Amino acid sequence: MRFYLGVVLSISCALTHAVGAEWNPRELNTLRSLSLTALTPVPVSPSNRVADNPQAAEFGKKIFFDPRFSKNGKFSCASCHQPDKYFTDQRPVGIGINKTSRNTPTVVASAWSRWFYWDGRRDSLWSQALTPFEAADEMGSSRTHVIWEISQDKHYLRRYEQLFGSLPRELMSKPKQLHASPIGDAQARENWHRIPNKKKNIINTVFANIGKAVAAYERTLVPKVTRFDRYVEQVLGIRDHQIRLSKDEVLGIKLFIDSEQTQCLQCHNGALLTNGGFHNVGSGNFYGKTLDFGRSLGIQAVLIDEFNCLGNYSDAKKEDCAQLRFLDPSQHHVPMDGAFKTPSLRNLGMTAPYFHDGRFSNLLDVLRYYNEPPVDNGPHELKALDFSDGQINSMIAFLKMLDSDE
């Protein structure tokens, strides 16, 4: 009886907590689901056998910050994924050796993702980590150059061999052509064509291992607690943070979780406030010089990627690759032209500009876009919110609660 009374009093406190808002049981459950209290442990990565190896993470961290792996020695992974900017670059689109066509997403919490890049062209964190090395506009390097740099640094070489065994001797001597890659420039592709298939397999195995080490480091980048998370802990009676909300923050939360009015939760749900899927919000680029069809081409790319879950360089069993095995390339069920990956809403204050092409510099412009979606860029999923200026400001007040203190 005493226990039952305590539960009743706890729920009553949560419903009428003196923080400027009252929440019914359904709303409390939704708030809990959106807070870090609901975040699951970091998912396993069957295709990467060193995913949770601390030594691999330390090795990968060194590579992540080292510009020697780029073609001109000036760019590293951290050039675009900068720690002091929540592992973004805060530019409309990324800039490496050349200007790219897409915004740089954060890699914080990427361990919980199922697909990578705005179009989902990669199916694991380690296969994604390999791509920037050879992308012409990013680091512009090649897998042979990356391996050469590892082989010539005694500290890197030792770390590699502790994790993956001896680096094959045939990769220890400097190749006649330093850059060889199947996706590089014309000369790099020609150099790759001249390499015997057996040696190509050896190169790819080592290159994949390097990606797996980088991924091990990126898996350690986890989201930090925000004011919103502390508030939820408070109303649920988990901790007493003594947080009071403004009227705008309360209204913003209520609008966000009101599925009938906003449908925000359809895409932005769970502790990371993203469903990890792909949605067409009318932002595809179907005309002009910068074409971007989003997920429709990403599906094709991930299926032919030699480093995917079912590929020769994956550590996964076939049954571990269900998301790839059952991926439907026909697009008959859900048209994917113009669909892009749903980003997390956490730390939006650090990840502007917004959308896949960085077209919006602030949250006000984003909310105005959702308030009056485009009508001249093909079919999409959005319905006008019909918010007043006050309601837009309230939504922004809520979204700012999702910024962490760190």
Within 13 Å of residue 395, how many CA atoms lie on the same side as its CB? 25
Task: State how far Cα 263 lies from the chain centre.
Answer: 22
**Domain co-membership, 63 together with 28:** no
Contact (CB, 8 A) for 256 and 348: no
Q: What is the mean pLDDT of residues 376-403?
A: 94
Beta strands in 200-320 (DSSP E): 278-280
Contact (CB, 8 A) for 115 and 124: no
Percent of the chain at pLDDT > 70 equals 93
Within a domain: 307: no
**Domain co-membership, 101 together with 169:** yes
Q: What is the mean pLDDT of residues 80-98?
A: 97
Number of domains in the chain: 2
pLDDT, position 330: 66
Last residue of a domain, one of 159, 193, 218: 218
* Per-residue pLDDT at 289 exceeds 90: no
Domain residues for the domain of 80 are: 54-218
**Domain co-membership, 125 together with 214:** yes
* Per-residue pLDDT at 226 exceeds 80: yes
Entry pTM: 0.92
Going by pLDDT thresholds of 50, 70 and 90, the confidence category of residue 184 is confident
User: Which CATH number goes with the domain that contains 246?
Assistant: 1.10.760.10
- Specify the higher pLDDT residue, 286 or 242: 242
**Domain co-membership, 105 together with 121:** yes
**Domain co-membership, 25 together with 145:** no
C-beta pairs of 25-31 under 8 Å, 24+ apart in sequence: 27/254, 27/257, 28/235, 28/236, 30/257, 30/265, 31/232, 31/235, 31/236, 31/253, 31/257
**Token reading at 402:** 């999702």
The chain-wide mean pLDDT, for the chain, equals 92
* Per-residue pLDDT at 1 exceeds 70: no
**Domain co-membership, 19 together with 75:** no
Last residue of a domain, one of 158, 190, 218: 218
**Domain co-membership, 374 together with 271:** yes
**Which H or E element spans position 80?**
helix 77-80
Alpha carbon dihedral 114, 119, 125, 130, in 10-degree steps, equals 160
**Domain co-membership, 189 together with 69:** yes
pLDDT, position 6: 44
Question: CA angle at residue 151 from 148 to 156, to 5 degrees?
Answer: 120
pLDDT, position 331: 52
Last residue of a domain, one of 202, 218, 234: 218
**Which H or E element spans position 339?**
strand 339-341
C-beta pairs of 185-191 under 8 Å, 24+ apart in sequence: 185/136, 188/142, 191/144
**Domain co-membership, 180 together with 208:** yes
pLDDT, position 20: 54
* Cα separation, 110 vs 216, whole angstroms: 11
**Domain co-membership, 162 together with 280:** no
Going by pLDDT thresholds of 50, 70 and 90, the confidence category of residue 378 is confident
Within a domain: 301: no
Q: Residue 116 pairs with which residues in a beta bridge?
A: 122
**Token reading at 17:** 């907590």
**Token reading at 322:** 């269900």
pLDDT, position 37: 95
